[in-house]
Structure 1
Amino acid sequence: MLTRPSIRALGVTGPAALLLLLPWLIYGSAVVQRYGMRDDYSILREAREEPGKILRVCAAMGRPLYGWLLETSVREAGDIDGLSGMRALSVVGLGLLGAAVFLLLRKEGWPTAPAALLAAFLTVMPSAQVIASWSICWPQAVALLLTVGAYALARRGFEAPPEALWRRGAWCLGGVVAMATATLIYQVSGLFYAVLLAAALVLRQDTDLRAPARWMARHLAVMGGGLGAAFVITKLSFALGLFAPSPRITFETHFLDKAAWFVTQVLPNALALNVLNATGSAPPLAFWPMVALTLTVVVLGVFVVGRRVGRAGVSTWLVGLLVLTAAAYSVSFLASERWPTYRTLYALTGVWSVYFVASLLNLGRRWPVHGPRAVTALLGIFVVVSALLAHQHSLELFAFPQGRELALLEEGARQVMPARQPRVFVLTARQSDSSAPLRYLDEFGSVSVDSEWVAKEMFRALVEERFPGERDVNRLYRFAAGPVLPEPRNYDILVDMRQQQRSRPIHLAR
């Protein structure tokens, strides 16, 4: 017979277990497909032929642990089929992330159903889709988990009695170390700390602004301490000659211009939550309506907070939203690069997702009898639609288009006859040649074989599969690639990567 404590435990462990499985249900069919993306093919060779190169390249951008994890996993993957194992690691990481966030939300006081739905959404939004669908992104999931651990450790420290300074300091130091470790894997993943801060902040009902300000300042000190420690370690590695800094590590100098770019190019992608933007064309029809809906719901949520708590509550929400929005994009804002990819938007979208869900819950409480259930049902529909979109995107914007590119090159690789040493020419594709229904930058629906180096790496990997015993497959053929088709007499095998949209449907599953 179930006792009341066991029922309460089941109410926590049940959703947590489902959240562990959810990413497999969504991304599993894409994980097992045979495909790769751009860098995937070059790192397969580099891990085998140039040990340490992947580590050095990543460390040059302040991500030494990313390089170590990536090089180790690629060496184990071995070939194109092994890339699916790396994507499986991403899915495992996202499942653990969803379960961990849910458990933390419950500790903060979130109701079970909204906590589970919010945690689920954080594993299906566009930023998570990139991590699940691109094999080299799997270390980012590790960094996200470390960030959740950093918050949990700091939270434990701040809950310690004031007289137990050593205990409080030890827990907070653990949080700083976890945060620094996450940052040394992938800088922007460490900013996920802001999402957990937002989830705790929206539940506070302080009548004095000083209390939430002190609470947030302590947590931001842990977050900043981890970021700062990682920066110092990176600079020391450069100063000691362990690694050479990348030219890409430069700081922004035109902050007003960067702020305008952020508001117009970055923030709308986060506010659209589950709707993708597009490159080279107008955004999908649902994009701007979703941006407007998010802003409207959050404004109404702030209004309800004002009615319930007063001016202090409104100030806490608005200041918290402003500060955490800045914190969630701080690393990318300070960097000189302007590349609003979804893999850099995880924390920013997460912060606005928290406020969106919390605002809906506040609106539901205005009608105590049916409001909370109605809002939970709406959230459930929203997450289900988001999950279906994530499943569709992982297949139609990652696995299938990239698989078609691979299949076209594979047809050319099958024509290589070593005795003849054929001349191979790959006519590189343009991004507009993508067979995907939508394209966004170098992530969703993008073309991999739009440059000579990618074509060369992909073709070599495919020929190596045909002749696994050959020590140097480069001597079996003569390779060239480019955007202009040469005279027919200059090649024996032509691979036209611009025929992707006209290519016949192919079965991509292994």
Structure 2
Amino acid sequence: MLDSRHFIKRISIFVSIISIYLLVYLPVITHNYGFADDYSVTFTAHHHILSLLYMVVSSGRPVYALFNFVFSLTSDIADFRWVRLASVLGIATLAQIIATFFIEETDLPRSLSISAALLIGLMPAFQVYASWAVCAGYPWAAAIAVFSFCVLHRNQYGGWQVSLTSFILLTLAMMIYQPAAMMYWVIAAAVWVANDRPLPSCNRIVRTVSIMMAALLADFISEKILTHFVFHHYYTLSRTALTTNFMQKISWFISSPMRDSLNFISITASRTVSVIFGAFIFIGFCLFIFRSNNSRIMKAMLSFSLLPMAYLPNLIVDENWASYRTQSALSSLLILYAAVALFAWLRQFRMLRLAPAIALVAILSSTGVARNNVITEFVNPQTKELKLVSRYLKMHLDNLNGAKQIYIVPSHWQESLAPVVRYDEFGMPSSADQWVPKGMVWLLLKSEHEPTASKLSTAKVGPLSAAPKGSTVIDLSQALGSR
């Protein structure tokens, strides 16, 4: 009887989670659009699949490279919606696992545990995952990483077989998308610092950390081996080259990723907001930890250490690019810390009865902001851009049919059709990236069954001033300007 009640409770939580996420992310499923790399990856998957695989493998993501075969089956822009649906389901699955774990492992009231898990899937990183088809594998990587920790934690007295299983799962997540695999640390924080229980033994903590380090090393080695021995070519990307300037990295971590993540649902990245939330979390977390009866100093040290650990793949490489899609684990960890801090504040002032109301307000407001971001920063501008480019191509179809050489001029990010542009994600015009226009034009023509689409395989992309004599120019900047 208890098991059936427990099962019904889990089902009810999942139904609530999927309902809220469908409310927020439904526009990415009902609208036909692509975004940026969706076009270039689809074009390359149809014409140069090996070069696509090499490009992804050289970023240390061989399993994600296999996922890209999905785009070789894409024949129409409308097909992207099904890939985005898979991403939304992945976000819901991740939130369900996290909600269950928070309820069982933290000292948070049930309302705060469920709302924290729900809020994680509404953060800007997950808005990007839901809105961008090429990111559809990322929430599943996060879910696999969380499950990896669950295997280790639920079988804490198991032998090497448990450690090996956890390592394989975490390495799999890492080979899909390294930043998402850092969700491992979010669940570790729930077990280690978000309750008043004694810390696990030193051996168990060391084993948990060692599995992460081993998975990172395995991913790094696989990238070197596969690019050299399978593709017989090797060059180092800034995103895979190890950094040597650690002080500069720490400064960058505080000023960019931490600032963004402390703004939570907002994409404005206000320094003032980050300082206010940072102070709220710091003081609240101190209230929580120092009221604890167990391992106060160690828990305080662990809670601080887990912040850079949640962003580790981006801190150990040369590249300094704090795009929101890299911040999923860091923002999720801060959501947990904020929930713990709120619990501590409410407990301090004997106002815990307000927790459900505050959780409800947080969910409702975040749902509204997330849905607005998805619509105004992805769905509407990308749909409009697609229509403008399609109209431009139809106006110049006769020229394209007779073209011997096609030359495409990209647009500029300042020609965005969205209210805000953040990184290469929110509000960014697809046609502004140098590698996107060819695939975008090709897929548009292919969707209309135009024979001209075959000519795009030899098309060149560059500034208008570099257009070869006698070539037929497709000026996407002019297309966006026609609005």
Specify which of 33, 36, 49 is matched with residue 34 of structure 2. Answer: 36
Residue 221 (structure 1) aligned with residue 218 (structure 2): no
Offset at residue 502 of structure 1 (A):
6.7
Residue 204 (structure 1) aligned with residue 195 (structure 2): yes
Q: Structure 2: how far apart are the matches of 1:305 and 1:134?
A: 38
- Show the counterpart of 2:256: 265
- Show the counterpart of 1:386: 366
Q: Structure 2: how far apart are the matches of 1:351 and 1:35?
A: 32
Residue 309 (structure 1) aligned with residue 298 (structure 2): no
- Show the counterpart of 2:375: 395
TM-score between both structures, scaled by the size of structure 1:
0.85
Code of the residue aligned with 2:347 in structure 1: it is R
Code of the residue aligned with 2:423 in structure 1: it is L
CA deviations on 1:342-373 (whole Å, 9 max, x unpaired) are 111111111111111111112222244xx223
Offset at residue 429 of structure 1 (A):
2.1
CA contact (8 A) 1:409 1:495 kept: no
CA deviations on 1:55-88 (whole Å, 9 max, x unpaired) are 22111111111010122x1123322111111111
- Show the counterpart of 1:143: 141
Q: Structure 1: how far apart are the matches of 2:195 and 2:460?
A: 63
Offset at residue 51 of structure 1 (A):
3.1
Question: Using CA pairs below 8 Å that are at least 6 residues apart, which structure has the higher relative contact order?
Answer: 2
Sequence identity (%): 20
Q: Structure 2: how far apart are the matches of 1:203 and 1:377?
A: 21
Code of the residue aligned with 1:136 in structure 2: it is V
Q: Structure 2: how far apart are the matches of 1:245 and 1:419?
A: 37
- Show the counterpart of 1:57: 55
Q: Structure 1: how far apart are the matches of 2:262 and 2:102?
A: 22
Task: Give the match's secondary structure for 1:52.
Answer: helix
Q: Structure 1: how far apart are the matches of 2:310 and 2:436?
A: 33
Offset at residue 426 of structure 1 (A):
5.3
Specify which of 180, 197, 221 is matched with residue 189 of structure 1. Answer: 180
CA deviations on 1:413-437 (whole Å, 9 max, x unpaired) are 2231379615877553221111111
Q: Structure 1: how far apart are the matches of 2:161 and 2:373?
A: 43
Q: Structure 2: how far apart are the matches of 1:471 and 1:348?
A: 42
Offset at residue 131 of structure 1 (A):
0.4
CA contact (8 A) 1:55 1:66 kept: no
Q: Structure 1: how far apart are the matches of 2:201 and 2:421?
A: 42
CA contact (8 A) 2:438 2:459 kept: no
CA deviations on 1:309-328 (whole Å, 9 max, x unpaired) are 26942x23421222111211
Pair 52,22 (structure 1): closer, same or farther in 2 beyond 3 Å = farther
Code of the residue aligned with 1:95 in structure 2: it is A
Within-5 A mapping of 1:92-491: 92-109=89-106, 110-158=108-156, 160=157, 167-205=158-196, 211=200, 213-242=202-231, 244-248=233-237, 249-277=240-268, 283=269, 287-305=270-288, 307-309=290-292, 312-313=295-296, 315-368=297-350, 371-415=351-395, 416-417=397-398, 421=402, 427-451=409-433, 453-467=435-449, 472-474=454-456, 482-483=463-464
Specify which of 85, 89, 98 is matched with residue 88 of structure 1. Answer: 85
Code of the residue aligned with 1:372 in structure 2: it is L
Offset at residue 98 of structure 1 (A):
0.9
CA contact (8 A) 1:126 1:276 kept: yes
Pair 465,332 (structure 1): closer, same or farther in 2 beyond 3 Å = same
CA contact (8 A) 1:124 1:390 kept: yes
Structure 2, unaligned stretches of length 5 or more?
Answer: none
Pair 7,228 (structure 1): closer, same or farther in 2 beyond 3 Å = same
Q: Structure 1: how far apart are the matches of 2:294 and 2:252?
A: 32
Structure 1, unaligned stretches of length 5 or more?
Answer: 161-166, 278-282, 504-510
Aligned residues: 478
CA contact (8 A) 2:409 2:473 kept: no
CA contact (8 A) 1:143 1:182 kept: yes
Q: Structure 2: how far apart are the matches of 1:456 and 1:344?
A: 27
Code of the residue aligned with 2:88 in structure 1: it is V
Offset at residue 32 of structure 1 (A):
2.3
Pair 483,451 (structure 1): closer, same or farther in 2 beyond 3 Å = farther
Code of the residue aligned with 2:360 in structure 1: it is G
Code of the residue aligned with 2:316 in structure 1: it is L
Output the aligned Cα RMSD.
2.9
Offset at residue 200 of structure 1 (A):
1.8
CA contact (8 A) 1:64 1:185 kept: yes
Pair 288,374 (structure 1): closer, same or farther in 2 beyond 3 Å = farther
| Deviation larger for 296-305 or 115-124 | 296-305
Code of the residue aligned with 2:426 in structure 1: it is F
